[in-house]
Amino acid sequence: MNFALLANRAFRVLATGALLTLPGCQAIMRSAISSEVTATLKEIQSPEWMGSQVKGDVELVKLADDLYAYRWAGYRTVFLTTSEGVILFDPINPVAAPGIAKAIASVAPNPQIRYVIYSHHHADHASGASLLPGHPTILAHANAARDIKAWTHDGVATPTEVWEGNEHEVSLGEKSVKLFLLPISHTDGNVVMLIPHRRALYIVDVFPGKKSVTLLGAPFHSYHGDLRALAKVQSLDYDLVIPGHGKIGTKEDVTNYVTFLHDAKAQIAKSVKKLGLGEVFAEVQNPKVGALLFDAYDALQPKYGNWSGYEHHMLSALQWVLVFDSVLSE
């Protein structure tokens, strides 16, 4: 049985105001929701979601003579080799970091890791640097460094070098990478990394990958902040986009994702009108709000239903757009 669909059907009943009060029905609902959460988390860490053709938990992909992507379960990082050592982006976590170091040693002419660059402060991407060999410079934006200091981040090594402002360049040997701050989006310290000579971009969490819907309902995302961040990303010069999760794609895939976000907002407005909800956003406890989400879900399915994660994440994505755009104006 598809428990995700069961959860959707059960939620549809509740959303239209037919409240289930019988203990047996509540048990079915809780089982369905529990299964949905399990399926969602499994999908996030699934190699299949990343578009991998390799079975197992790790994969090393050569993107160019000096540029490699390393996947650990549903997470991906990137490293650049030079004559003077390696620039590594996110160390991911303490379990992944030793494998990253091993992969670097297997392909890099000079495997010394000189830089580790944090995309942001979250421990699921930024922990593990202390397990890497040598003593690399650990670089983070000042906003991310502030958050690392302010909160407990198990396994996240304190940055040894911090940069401020909107742009920064790191050079090693004959090569350079450019860093751009994407504030008030996934976090206030998110950084996107451009590798100009390879026309490649590494981006974490703000873009979920080629044709992917992700957990947009998380409270650390700003709808308008994400759109501003993605507008900045679209202004950069690159062809290949390498996401921290999801499938590797092209700049066109970023544009398609921006269109998806705009379509979600537009469809919510259409569904409000269709259902006659009027100023529904002033009545967030209106029992028809759930019906609104499902109406938008169904309307967008012909265009986006084949995107990875649509079934598991689209309802939360629509709720995020509804609340953060229309209620909070964030």
Question: Average pLDDT of each block of 10 consecutive residues along the chain (330 residues)?
Answer: 38 40 52 58 52 63 97 94 98 94 97 97 91 96 93 85 98 97 89 98 94 72 89 97 95 97 93 77 63 92 94 87 72
Please give the pLDDT value at position 266.
Answer: 94
The CA distance from 193 to 212, in Å, is 20
pTM, two decimal places = 0.84
Predicted pLDDT of residue 22: 44
Helices 23-44, 310-320: inter-axial angle, 10-degree rounding:
100
User: Which residues neighbour 191 within 8 Å (Cβ) at sequence distance 6 or greater?
Assistant: 117, 118, 119, 120, 140, 141, 144, 179, 180, 181, 182
Contact 321, 264 (CB under 8 A): yes
For residue 237, CA distances in Å to 69, 198, 199, 234, 240 come to 20, 10, 7, 8, 10
The Cα-based distances of 115 to 39, 207, 323 in angstroms read: 36, 24, 39
Whole-number Å distance between alpha carbons of 129 and 110: 19
Sign for the pseudo-dihedral over CA of 204, 234, 67, 182? negative
What was the pLDDT predicted at 4?
39
pLDDT at position 152: 72
Q: What is the predicted pLDDT for the residue at 19?
A: 38
- Give the Å distances, CA to CA, from 2 to 5, 31, 258, 312: 6, 12, 30, 11
The span from the CA of 281 to the CA of 57, in Å, is 43
Pairing of strands 137-141, 161-163: parallel
Q: How many CA atoms, within 13 angstroms, populate the side-chain half-sphere of residue 56?
A: 6
Sheet with strand 75-82: strands edge to edge: 58-64, 67-72, 75-82, 85-88, 113-117, 137-141, 161-163
| Domains of the chain by residue range | 1-44, 49-205
Q: What is the pLDDT of residue 21?
A: 43
Q: What pLDDT does 323 receive?
A: 79
Both tokens of residue 30?
């809780």
Q: Which CATH number fits domain 49-205: 3.40.50.1370, 3.40.50.970, 3.20.20.370, 3.60.15.10?
A: 3.60.15.10
Query: CA nearest 243: which of 278, 184, 211, 202?
Result: 202
- C-alpha closest to that of 316 among 30, 6, 73, 4: 4
